[in-house]
Amino acid sequence: MVLNIILYKLEKDILRQVFRFKIKYNHKFDWNDFWYVYTMNRFKFIAFLTFCFYTFVIQAQFTFLNIKGEWVSDHNQVIVIKQWANSHDNYLVKSNGEELEVLLVIDEEILSFQNNYFKGSKFYNDQYNFHLKDVTKNKLVLKPTSALAKSYFKSDHKIEFIKRRDTESLDFDFESLIFEKTVSDLNNYKLEINDKKEVIFIEYKYKYLKSDNGQFELDKNGFRIKEIDTIAENKFLLNNNQYQNLLRKLKEARINTLNSQTLVKCGHCYPQSLVVNFNNKTFKHIDFDIPPYLLKDLVDYLKSLKSIVKD
């Protein structure tokens, strides 16, 4: 529609110039010349618009290829860039693990992460805009420019991110870990792994106590009393690939920087905990309901080891 309007105005201008030329020099007008001039001008104008459009697309694509990936700041703010244009496959993650799924629009040096939604019949377009200050293979520097971006990351200064997969510079010497997960009211398990690749898997199953008349016994707070019914223990060794995968995920989780007190809480989720010993008896205990973004890969991997016991 806009292009048609522009072309229409261009045609009017061409006609105006041609007839001015005819009146000025008072000679017979050659329509063949006119259509030649008209066609060439129209072609040049469309070619110019096409060039501008593809220049913009190529520039945006080049920028996207440079910034694609997972980026993390010193304060565990995370930007995940997987797709651009019309795909909601990117994430902004706060230091406490709270994440927001967004689409990405690139306009020269502005990265606009957008969240589109309806409230009732009203459409909203929240824009978290950042100015791209610098980007290299392993570094991304952004400055929040919109009010939402400044509020979300609690900063109006430049934020430096590094590639999450760039863990070579991290000082992390693994010693052991204990992962505990409550599956249900009557089932939980514990996973212990040490630097000798030894794994101990312990599963606890409980039962509710009942009185002689068949009624559930309750504690002073009115909750059912339960006791351990069975304990199953299994031991196995990780192969080298499995162990190296564990070490990589531990580094990428940035265990030494996480803090249980700042993580998002969930009132109806079963608790999970992770205890890691590293760097000559350095101790880290993290309690969480929902795994924060940086812990997701590690927790999923630890959960997957449960299937080895059953195989």
CA distance 132 to 293: 23
- Full residue range of the structural domain in which residue 11 is found: 2-67
Q: Is residue 20 a contact partner of residue 12, using CB atoms and an 8 Å limit?
A: no
Q: How many domains does the chain have?
A: 3
Give the model confidence (pLDDT) of 157-201 as tens digits: 999 999 988 766 677 889 999 999 988 888 888 999 999 999 999
CA distance 157 to 143: 6
pLDDT at 2: 46
pLDDT confidence band for 1 (50 / 70 / 90): very low
Is 274 among the domain residues?
A: yes
CATH of the domain at 153: 2.40.128
Is 47 among the domain residues?
A: yes
Q: Is residue 79 a contact partner of residue 115, using CB atoms and an 8 Å limit?
A: no
Contacts of 234 (CB under 8 A, 6+ apart): 200, 201, 309
Residue type, 236: F
Output the pTM of the full model.
Answer: 0.72
Between residues 244 and 168, the one the model is more confident about: 244
CA distance 65 to 18: 48
pLDDT at 214: 79
Give the model confidence (pLDDT) of 40-90 as tens digits: 556 555 655 554 444 444 444 445 567 888 999 989 999 998 877 666 789
Q: What angle do CA 284, 202, 97 make, to 5 degrees?
A: 35
Is 169 among the domain residues?
A: no
